[in-house]
Structure 1
Amino acid sequence: METNNNFTATDNGKTAGIISYFTIIGWLIAYFAMHKDNKTELGSYQLRQTLLFAIVSTVIGWGLGFVLGILIVSTGVGALIYIAYILQIALFIIWLIGLIGAINGEKKPMPLIGEKAQTMFPGI
């Protein structure tokens, strides 16, 4: 039985790139269901960016949560939580810039990590 993947063939990886921005589940769906058997330059570009973004944001979230938790408990200064809020807003802005690029079908690097992602994951 032959499957019809016209949605990925006609958009040159744009759909896979967009879907990869929506959680790691979205990335897995975009990679395995849309990109793996029909690789495109744009799809690869976006998948590499979103993979590194997911890794970096997870590590920052866990690390910052751990450090701020210790600082808040030891100093009693609950206002330190605002550091986490500021970082979350910054990560959201970076994510949004990448998503807008994917929606427009551009190979526009995400600030701070976009170019690095292209060299770190050449196999995607």
Structure 2
Amino acid sequence: MIENDIDRGRQNAIISYLTIIGVIIAFYLNKEEDKRSDFANFHIRQSLGLWLTFWALGYIIGSFDSWLVSSSFYLCFAVLFIYGFTGALGRKKQIVPLVGAFYQKLFANLGN
């Protein structure tokens, strides 16, 4: 049953990390009754949290006039996105470091 769930939701999990629009597309694709997957829901919650945090903090970081602050911000989020994306590719439910557990609790009702 678990392998079947992962196979059903893998494509939506991967789509969710591509852009913020990808999160919305993956969410609606995963809502279909025959394609609903806990694996995809897990990764949709992770990527939604990453994208919202990226945009919220990016607005604040943009007010700093320092290439060091901006580049470290982008590097940090690139690592988090790559970590989540490789988890989706590798068929694993890996919580993104630092903030992943918070996103799972915050968006617990998403996709249910």
Q: TM-score, normalised by structure 2?
A: 0.86
Question: Alignment length, in residue pairs?
Answer: 105
Greater relative contact order, per chain length (Cα 8 Å cut-off, separation 6+): 2
Supply the distance in 2 between the matched residues of 1:30 and 1:60 (Cα, whole angstroms). 24
- Structure 1 stretches of 4+ moved >2 Å: none
Change (3 A) 1:39 1:64: same
Match of 1:107 in 2: 93
Task: Give the drift of 1:9.
Answer: 7.0
Q: TM-score, normalised by structure 1?
A: 0.78
Residue ranges of structure 2 left out of the alignment (5+ in a row): none
Match of 1:29 in 2: 25
Match of 2:47 in 1: 50
Identity of paired residues, percent?
A: 26
Supply the distance in 1 between the matched residues of 2:48 and 2:17 (Cα, whole angstroms). 9
Which entry has the higher C-alpha Rg, 1 or 2?
1
Supply the distance in 2 between the matched residues of 1:60 and 1:107 (Cα, whole angstroms). 25
Task: Give the drift of 1:86.
Answer: 1.2
What do you get for the CA RMSD once the two structures are aligned? 1.7
Supply the distance in 2 between the matched residues of 1:82 and 1:10 (Cα, whole angstroms). 39
Residue ranges of structure 1 left out of the alignment (5+ in a row): 1-7, 73-79
